[in-house]
Structure 1
Amino acid sequence: MGTTEGTDDVGCRPVLAVGAAEATGVVHRVGVIVAELAQARMPMSLAELTCRTGLPKTTVHRLLAALCGIGLVRRGDAGYALGPAAPPLRAPAPGRDPFALPRRCFLPHLVELYEQTHQMVSLCILVGDEVVFLERIYGPGRADDGLVDAERLPARLTAAGRVLLAFSRTVRPDGAGAAPHAGLERCLADIRRRRVAVLAAACQPGVICAAAPVVGRTGRVVAAVEIAAGAAALGVTAMIDQVHRTARTISAAARRLG
């Protein structure tokens, strides 16, 4: 199988086209760097970015050069900051509690979950009676739950939303203004006991969604990890194990910040 030769992102030496797995790793590292710059109030030096991201200094320098070249990052006397081509930061949606966990604390674990399963994985929060997808990773081989383009959905219709409703102290389980959903109260009680929700995808037969809670620094459930996969390909037990492990790892990262 042939390879395509070109120049690397610094433009200094020839490189070979990378495979899908390596490309996923590059995207992950770029995402971690951009996330740090997006959260910084002041420009950051190369040393600061290397320390905050945990990436090798040469990797950070090489990726910063590439990002500067396309305008996503700019370099000034004070250090690196987001550039003019970076999308503007959006203010939180009305009614949304700030999600305090930085992307660098949860994104690597979502990427790891995707690499282990090659299915669609998400991190979600609850806003009113809707679930909002903060992060979603999927590839060409993932199961399609029929809702991959939606940024927010009625919480009771998703596994992640049901997890968040189960641990919410303020939201009615049927959703504000919505007709009561038969048996949902009993379902939420079971989710609180098992700390996992499993739900058939709304639009795609054979696709199962599983979700587990992420606990924040105060001990409150602040988010949910969800995976959508073909049950025949992955198995419900394996899906539950995977989301539980990822949710626990992200929760541990949140506690370390405290």
Structure 2
Amino acid sequence: MSQVPAASRALRVLRFLAEQPGPVPLDRIQQALGLPRSTAYHLINTMIDEGFVTHLVDEKRYGLGVAAFEVGSGYTRQAPLQRISRRPLAELVDRTGQSAHLAVLHGRDVLYVIEERAPGRPPLVTDVGVRLPAHLTASGRAILAALPAAQVRATYPDKSAFVDRHGKGPSGPRELATLLQETRQRGHATEDGEVTPGFASVAAAVLDHNGYPAAGVAITHASETPDPSHAEAVRRTAAELTRRLGGRPR
């Protein structure tokens, strides 16, 4: 439990807004974060005064402000997640003989920030800077499974939120909820042919100090050569990165 509830709520609002594809109404923020309407209203107005949130009056929606951009730019310059993660990912490649990557959630996509390619393995679409639909990737599913259910529902409210890549994967909120429940029960996420035909991935979430998913770490292998030890190796790497981030395992 946070010792400073107001600060915790403000940070949750920032995180929620950062994950949306565009500005959202106040009631969307309130419902997704479980805040009383009066609390959400006063909190948002304070964040507007500080420049972290902007109010689009004509649209009656709220989005990130310039101050949030400045914080994000500082993070990009410092790249702490990439610095912390590179060696454990290289060790994961050595243990499994498969290419590994790290991705972060951005709206309904995952953004790949590190790729460590195994020697002799073919290039993959998960190169640094590439975005892919989160609900189709193992990394994205690992992250989504660690999010509060209300936040997942707000991000994927109906079938229009789901894009198709190769005719596989969840196409609606109910299918996604079932898949994420299975992911939580296993302790890791999988996908097979939903990103690239002939290739499968296994992933686990990296958690921050609030138990919130900061990233997803994954390896990708040929579909015809699964190895049960890969899942354990990925979970161990995710646990190590969680520890390095000062994270709180679930």
CA deviation profile, 1:15-63 (whole Å, cap 9, x unmatched): xxxxxxxxxxxxxxxxxxxxxxxxxxxxxxxxxxxxxxxxxxxxxxxxx
Q: CA contact under 8 A between 2:183 and 2:189: conserved in structure 1?
A: yes
SS of the residue 2:210 aligns to: coil
Match of 2:228 in 1: 237
Q: CA contact under 8 A between 1:145 and 1:202: conserved in structure 2?
A: no
CA distance in 1, matches of 2:186, 2:99: 22
Q: CA contact under 8 A between 1:119 and 1:143: conserved in structure 2?
A: no
Match of 2:6 in 1: none
CA distance in 2, matches of 1:101, 1:217: 15
Q: Using CA pairs below 8 Å that are at least 6 residues apart, which structure has the higher relative contact order? A: 2
SS of the residue 1:255 aligns to: coil
Match of 2:117 in 1: 138
Amino acid across the alignment from 1:178 = A
Amino acid across the alignment from 1:221 = P
Residues 162-181 of structure 1 correspond to what in structure 2 (within 5 A)?
162-169=141-148, 170-172=151-153, 174=156, 177-179=160-162, 181=171
Match of 1:222 in 2: 214
Q: CA contact under 8 A between 2:104 and 2:111: conserved in structure 1?
A: yes
Match of 2:106 in 1: 127
Match of 2:8 in 1: none
Q: How many Å apart are 1:131 and its aligned residue?
A: 0.6
Gaps of 5+ in 1: 1-89
Identity rate, percent: 28
Residues 8-27 of structure 1 correspond to what in structure 2 (within 5 A)?
none
SS of the residue 2:121 aligns to: coil
Amino acid across the alignment from 1:210 = V
Normalized per residue, the structure richer in helix is 2
Q: Residues 187, 144 of structure 1: CA spacing in aligned structure 2 closer, same or farther, 3 A cutoff? A: farther
Alignment TM-score, normalising by the size of structure 1: 0.54
| Mapped pair 1:209 → 2:209 | no
| Mapped pair 1:116 → 2:108 | no
Match of 1:191 in 2: 183
Q: CA RMSD in A?
A: 3.4
Q: How many Å apart are 1:140 and its aligned residue?
A: 4.7
Q: CA contact under 8 A between 2:117 and 2:123: conserved in structure 1?
A: no
CA distance in 2, matches of 1:127, 1:97: 14
Gaps of 5+ in 2: 1-69, 163-169
Q: Residues 149, 98 of structure 1: CA spacing in aligned structure 2 closer, same or farther, 3 A cutoff? A: closer
Match of 1:58 in 2: none
CA distance in 1, matches of 2:128, 2:212: 29
Report the more deviating stretch, 107-116 or 140-149.
140-149
Q: CA contact under 8 A between 2:136 and 2:194: conserved in structure 1?
A: yes
Q: How many Å apart are 1:98 and its aligned residue?
A: 11
